[in-house]
Amino acid sequence: MARMYARRKGKSGSVRPARKEPPAWVSYTSEEVRKLVVNLAKEGKSTSEIGMILRDQYGIPLVKLVCGKKITEILREEGLAPSIPEDLSNLMLKTIRLRKHLERNKKDIHNKRILQLTESKIRRLVKYYKRTRVLPEDWKYSPETAELLLRR
């Protein structure tokens, strides 16, 4: 498959093994994993950070195999899910950083192009999330609202 904006082919990535049940060496029950996910979310970790911590420190390769639900589904049930999906918020943070960089370096045309590409990715993602009803229909991306939403 080709890359999104470059005229070349991408490198293939690794594929997760197809499994229906958790590996035998996972010693945690589904309730213990749920508690770990909720505690890590309360510490302010994002869903991808939670997954990496569970994989690296607790030896849980995939939460869905143990619990039957994804991390975001568990967080949604507990009322801890973010209002904006993580991939969209990461792209918006990237555009905020790029805009600050371009304010200081006005002639940086390469990063101006990267900003355009990133904002088009955001628009494409927003269209998808509106269609799947993750975001409300009247939600609109603008750099000003992105900065207000993602203030840290």
Instruction: Assess contact for 113 and 73: CB atoms under 8 A.
Output: no
User: Could you give the CA distance from residue 46 to residue 82 in angstroms, rounded to a whole number?
Assistant: 9
Residues 71 and 117 in one domain: no
Is there a domain that residue 24 lies in?
Answer: no
Q: What is the pTM of this model?
A: 0.84
- Tally of structural domains, the chain: 2
Indicate the Cα dihedral angle 17, 23, 26, 28, nearest 10°.
Answer: 100
Is there a domain that residue 22 lies in?
Answer: no
| The predicted structure's pLDDT at residue 152 | 54
| The predicted structure's pLDDT at residue 151 | 74
Instruction: Assess contact for 96 and 150: CB atoms under 8 A.
Output: yes
Task: Give the largest Cα separation in the chain, rounded.
Answer: 57
CA proximity to 33, closest of 81, 65, 3, 1: 65
Tens digit of pLDDT per residue, the chain (152 long)?
Answer: 677 777 788 777 788 878 888 889 999 999 999 999 999 999 999 999 999 999 999 999 999 999 999 999 999 999 999 989 999 999 999 999 999 999 999 999 999 999 999 999 999 999 999 999 999 999 999 998 888 887 75
CATH of the domain at 129: 1.10.287.10
Domain's final residue, options 61, 78, 95: 78
Domain span at residue 118 reads 86-149
